[in-house]
Amino acid sequence: MKFLCCSDTHGRVPPALDEQGATAWLHAGDVYNCLKLGRKPEGRNDFDKMKSWLAQRPIPVYASAGNHDCMNPCNFDMCYDVDIAKITPKLSLVRIGWHNEKFDDIPMESTIAKVVERAMRTAYRSMKDGDHSILLCHWPPSLPPNSIPGIELKQEHGWIFRSVEMMVDALRPSAAIFGHLHQMERKTARVNDTLIVFPGQTGGTLTIDDETFLATYEPSNLRPPIR
């Protein structure tokens, strides 16, 4: 199964990835570039282009809210808390979303921990032993040392979350797609059997093997269109 991934497109349309044979788009948040909740959205956003991009998609587009998604004027299927959707009888998409009224009011560890707890309870209720999953979340996990050569992700307020690492550890998804850390664009890591992916705005193609449910990822070289 093939999934098209991206994150942090910040008010521009996602990259023109090849949709042939793909099951769904997975957007790990900061779909918009909104600055705060209000009657009129603030920030630079190509709303018309985003709306027509969304209307023209032949496959579902799933997103998890990031800190710039305090409004959803284009009506993306955006998870603002916890959502679990069955992609196939054996594969679920687990989404965790969180945002505040202003983009720069970023969450504390304890804030995300509460959402993670709800997500875990929902996952335990709705998934059976032997079911597989993909996790889609804007908020990155801390990672064991040397997971990505030359990069150490340590817990840092508002940027990296221990509770998300614990969720990856407990849920053991085939793949976990994250955003928020723009400098991690195109990077991947393998933790146990989980492929951690930071697709960034260039995006890429995630493949889940139909038999083994092992994930592989191919980043693209595409850039979103210049404004």
Binding stretches for Zn ion (CB under 5 A): 8, 30, 66-67, 180
Q: Which long-range contacts (CB under 8 A, 24 or more apart) does 115-118 make?
A: 115/81, 115/82, 116/161, 116/163, 116/164, 116/166, 116/167, 117/163, 118/81, 118/82
CB of 66: closest distance to Zn ion in angstroms?
Answer: 4
Provide the 8-state DSSP code for 167: H
CA-to-CA distance for 31 and 11, rounded, in angstroms? 6
CB of 17: closest distance to Zn ion in angstroms?
Answer: 19
φ/ψ of 166, rounded to 5, equals: -65, -35
CB of 56: closest distance to Zn ion in angstroms?
Answer: 24
CB of 181: closest distance to Zn ion in angstroms?
Answer: 8
3-state secondary structure of 180: coil
Closer to Zn ion at the Cβ: 140 or 173? 140
Q: What is the dihedral of CA 161, 162, 164, 167, to 10 degrees?
A: 180
DSSP lists the bridge partners of residue 137 as 96
CB of 214: closest distance to Zn ion in angstroms?
Answer: 28
Closer to Zn ion at the Cβ: 68 or 132? 68
- DSSP string across 70-117: S--TT--EEESSEEEEEEETTEEEEEE----SBTT-PPPHHHHHHHHH
Closer to Zn ion at the Cβ: 83 or 185? 185
CB of 29: closest distance to Zn ion in angstroms?
Answer: 6
Closer to Zn ion at the Cβ: 46 or 87? 46
Closer to Zn ion at the Cβ: 27 or 180? 180
Closer to Zn ion at the Cβ: 174 or 220? 220
